[in-house]
Amino acid sequence: MLVGTFGSEIYEFTASSEKIESDCTWTIDCRMRGHFTPNPLWTNEVWGLCVCNTEKNANKYISCSDDATLRLYDTK
């Protein structure tokens, strides 16, 4: 199961068995983090984007935002 949040994140939840019951355990994996800051003064705009196209860094890109973060993504 995939769950998206208001904070621009995507989590994958995997149950320990096919039948979900009260004793079922879950594995949670964060698949993506976006740019988000709960601040009414900022708009969470992405200000920069760099697509990496070298052999070593193929399928990767970097973004920066007014939430004061720099994020590296892999499209695979």
Domain ranges across the chain: 1-33, 39-76
**pLDDT number for residue 28:** 93
**pLDDT number for residue 46:** 77
pLDDT digit string (tens) for 17-63?
887 777 888 899 988 887 777 777 767 777 888 887 777 777 888 88
**pLDDT number for residue 42:** 66
pLDDT at 12 over 70: yes
**Structure pTM?**
0.55
Own/partner pairs, 3-12, CB within 8 angstroms, 24+ separation = 6/36, 7/34, 7/36, 7/38, 8/32, 8/33, 8/34, 8/35, 8/36, 8/44, 9/33, 9/34, 9/36
Number of residues that make up the chain: 76
